[in-house]
Structure 1
Amino acid sequence: MAKQSVVVTGIGLVSSLGEGVETHLRQLAGASAPQPIIEAGAYAPALVHPLPPIDWSTQIERKGDLRQMETWQKLGTYTAGLALDDAAIPEDEAFRSTIDMIVAAGGGERDETVDALVMARSRGAEDPRADINELLMTELRPTLFLAQLSNLMAGNISIVHKVTGSSRTFMGEESAGISAFHVAASRIAAGQSRICLVGGAFSAQRKDILVNYELGDYLLHAPWQPVFSRSGKGGFTPGAMGAFLVLESAQSAAERNVPAYAKLGFVAGDRGPRDEEALAARLSRMFADSGADARDLMVLSGATGLQPITDVERRAIAARYPDAALRAYGNAMGHGMEAQFGMGLALAAAAVSRGAMPAPADGGEERPADFTPRQALVTTIGHVRGEGVGLLEAIG
């Protein structure tokens, strides 16, 4: 069977900038870079890009479904619905039963109130195990156990949106998102899938996960700085976000008579030692394999701002694409772990479809560009491990 072209026919986006393709393009491709929306006080010393106000009921109608979901599942289910609507997927259950799904998910959410109660009861106790067991049995809502299962995001999407084809869930921070899109695109290209809903979500406004990142010394503290201006050890600002795309074979899109945003020409991921030479070599190889044309190229970097990996990425891009328009989309919306790569692909597809160039961030590391992007290279370098590269190309 001949290799199928993979196109993007639907995009669902939510970040601190708002929701939807138009909202994001309007702010990112304006005369100047948008002022980042940051919550600094509630999670000090961490800086967090919060969720915008969302009416969950527009995509998740049943109150019972909403009650059993924590924020990250609501966000993923909501954003998936936006992508399906954007791709003009009919609500017919028979049709939706043919749609495959791949989700990149984290480890769920904790009940912070119960955590605090457990710690308070345990403090000073000689053997707190009995108290802990009692609290877990009496204080935790039964539905919270569902919220802690990674594959329940896919389950909720299936229940709410009736997407009941094959389903896969990948878990593992940025690498999960990279693998999700790599597998989805590969299956469509090989003729093993026609339409696939793929993406992830990240709830950043969680004290439990912020403590983990702080203990690892990964977080940026005030004052906020653009990604490529972060010196010393650097750091990232967690960003609440959801990004789902409908990937489809070009033949299927033509048969459905729906327009495509862009062609997904390449997706690859890798991982290995994080010494500077080895990381640079892996990135250079993926850049070469992508086939990206250096002329009129936009590079949307999902860099964290952590050093030295951010500088390694920037140097590798400059070496191969010295004239590319480099933009770090984390400046506007933060770092979204499992959703980070999908967010970059979504923004790239939307930008090349409209010929829109995001404005450069302050700091001087991002230069103005006077061309209309026809290709966009997307990168995501995981904060600990995993690297991914994707190429979006304009259609026509």
Structure 2
Amino acid sequence: MTETKSSKPGSTEVWITGIGLATSLGEGLDTTWDALSQRRINVDEKNFAPYVVHPWAPVNFDIQIPKKGDQRQMEAWQRIGTYTAGLALDSAGIKGNNEILARMDMIVAAGGGERDLAVDTAIMQAAAKNNFAPGFLNERLMSDLRPTLFLAQLSNLLAGNIAIVHGVTGSSRTFMGEEGAGVDAARIALARIAAGQSDIALIGGSHNSERKEMLMLYQFDDFNLRDHFAPVWARSGKPGFALGSVGAFLVMESRAHAQTRGARPFARLTNVVADQARRKTPGEVTASLQSLWSKLGKLDDNGAIITGATGVEPVTSEELAFLRQHPDFAIRASGTAFGHNMEAQFILGLALAALSISRGALFPPNDPTALEVEMSKAPSQIVVAGAGHWRSEGMALVEAVK
């Protein structure tokens, strides 16, 4: 097991003051909360059969990305992320506040971007017909790909588009590494603000599930949920993740900065810890999660855990073994309602935790195995946990502001 990485929070209290969510269940906090309360799930078992996905719920992109030219030069994952970042800025009350946006840190968790399948198909068809004259490939790449593409879109273009569209022009970082990227985005943002290196930050990620090339890629290692949907904890006989389309962004800031501008918090982010078990022998993920748990800080009895459990094996069974060591905690798997969102999965968990604390309730269980149970009291602490489908474990403590 590698050395655990921690946010090492200082004396500065860090608040979550803005939440942007746009998912397969719709956009906005009220819509999300209503869907969770009604145990609603939006899945597509047909258009990408045999694979199951949680498709994007359409929005009016003009609201957050007013220029059509900006929209056209983005692929779906960038539009989702840029749109949702705008929702987070609106939620925090800083949309259009140029003084704050000009010094606002931005940390984005991003994948490698999307392929242009039409161009890929045309090139492969030409090759299959032996119509592949010298210089053909270079000519097609130069004439068919838009300027923002280099075979696949560059990962830092999401941050670039957020800067262009919304004016977030402080320091910018983009992390890659699937689920671990989202953990590190939160960990670094918390550490910077807690250490006094930053006052306010925008963090987040986005994922587009409706990508045939990614479904193909993940199927090479048998990761995809196939044929029919089942909640995360009910997939043991037929494991896999159902990819989800989601944008999840947060505004985080120091308590003093928020109070100066009169902002109200959803919750406090107290700690974020990360690890990367080698996963060479059974039980390493369970041990990694238990080690992270011990580093979170003082936990209340009868709390709650929101996990980004994937449904993939063997990691889900190992995560389940960890969860069973804490039977007094009410568990919720975000993947049941939202699908698996890779880079955005952990940040989605933070958003759901902060939203639950602000609403004074944990959203109801949606699990036929009875692992998830009702929580009658208002949560004052929620642990956000996640074990990546292939690598990376992370954990965070989200608390009510006192």
TM-score, normalisation: structure 2: 0.94
Residue in structure 1 matched with residue 4 of structure 2 by the alignment: none
SS in 2 for 1:101: strand
* C-alpha displacement of 1:294: 4.5
The one of 102, 108, 114 equivalent to 2:107 is: 102
CA distance in 1, matches of 2:335, 2:147: 36
Over residues 69-119 of structure 1, what are the superposed CA-to-partner deviations in whole Å (9 max), with x where a residue is unaligned? 111111111111100110011513232111111000111111111111111
Q: SS at the partner of 1:276? A: coil
In 1, Cα distance between equivalents of 2:71 and 2:291: 44
Residues 68 and 147, structure 1, Cα contact 8 Å, conserved in 2: no
Q: Please give the per-residue CA displacement for 1:200-227, whole angstroms capped at 9, x wherever unaligned.
A: 0011111111110111210010221110
* Equivalent-residue separation in structure 2 for 1:246 and 1:276 (angstroms): 38
| Alignment match, 2:18 | 10
Which residue does the alignment assign to 1:193?
Answer: 198
**Alignment partner of 1:362 out of 364, 367, 382:** 367
Equivalent in the alignment of 1:351: 356
Decide which moves more: 295-304 or 332-341.
Answer: 295-304
Instruction: Say if 2:321 is the partner of 1:315.
Output: yes
Structure 1 position 126, deviation (Å): 8.8
3-state SS of the aligned residue for 1:142?
A: coil
Structure 2 residue aligned with 1:277, among 277, 283, 290? Answer: 283
The CA distance in 2 between the partners of 1:92 and 1:119, in whole Å, is: 48
| Corresponding residue of 2:400 | 394
Which moved further from structure 2: 193-202 or 222-231?
A: 222-231
Amino acid at match of 2:36: L
Q: Structure 2 regions of 5+ residues with no counterpart?
A: 1-8
Q: Deviations over 1:268-324 (max 9, x none)?
A: 1110211332221111011111125242311111000011211211221221x2111
The alignment yields a C-alpha RMSD, in angstroms, of 1.8
Asked if 1:210 corresponds to 2:215, the answer is yes
Structure 1 stretch displaced more, 164-173 or 266-275: 266-275
In 1, Cα distance between the equivalents of 2:121 and 2:298?
51
State the partner residue of 2:70: 65
Aligned equivalent of 1:385:
391
Q: Which region of structure 1 is more displaced relative to structure 2, 148-157 or 231-240?
A: 231-240
Using structure 1 for the length normalisation, give the TM-score.
0.95
Counterpart code for 2:397: L
CA positional deviation for 1:127:
6.3
Structure 1: distance between partners of 2:300 and 2:324: 11
Q: Which amino acid aligns with 1:48?
A: V
Partners of 1:126 and 1:58 in 2: CA distance: 45
Distance 1:127 1:58 in 2: 44
Q: Is the Cα contact below 8 Å between 1:202 and 1:240 reproduced in 2? A: yes
Q: How far does residue 184 in structure 1 lie from its aligned partner after superposition? A: 0.3
Q: Secondary structure at the match of 2:343?
A: helix
**Equivalent in the alignment of 1:238:** 243
Q: 1:258 to 1:112 in 2, by over 3 A?
A: same
Q: Could you say which residue in structure 2 is the equivalent of 1:25?
A: 33
Mean Cα deviation higher: 13-22 or 292-301 = 292-301
3-state secondary structure, aligned to 2:169? coil
Q: Residues 90, 210 of structure 1: CA spacing in aligned structure 2 closer, same or farther, 3 A cutoff? A: closer
Name whichever of 327-336 and 371-380 sits farther off. Answer: 371-380
348-357 or 87-96: which moved more?
A: 87-96
The answer as to 2:311 corresponding to 1:301 is: no
Q: Structure 1 residue aligned with 2:142, among 137, 145, 155?
A: 137
In the TM superposition, residue 374 of structure 1 has moved relative to its aligned partner by 1.4
Partners of 1:13 and 1:392 in 2: CA distance: 17
Mapped partners of 2:337, 2:133: distance in 1: 44
Specify the alignment match of 2:263 in structure 1.
258
Match of 2:297 among 264, 269, 291: 291
CA contact (8 A) 2:126 2:132 kept: no
Equivalent residues of 1:202, 1:242 under 8 A apart: yes
Whole-angstrom CA distance in 1 between matches of 2:378 and 2:98: 40
In the aligned structure 1, how far is the partner of 2:10 from the partner of 2:345? 31
State percent identity of aligned pairs.
47
Partner of 1:332: 337
Q: CA deviation at 1:138?
A: 2.6
Contact 2:12 2:254 in 1 (8 A): yes
Report if aligned partners of 1:102, 1:199 keep a CA contact under 8 Å in 2: yes
Deviation at 1:2, TM superposition (A): 5.9
Aligned partners of 1:10, 1:80: CA distance in 2, in Å? 10
Q: What one-letter code is carried by the residue in structure 2 that aligns with 1:303?
A: A
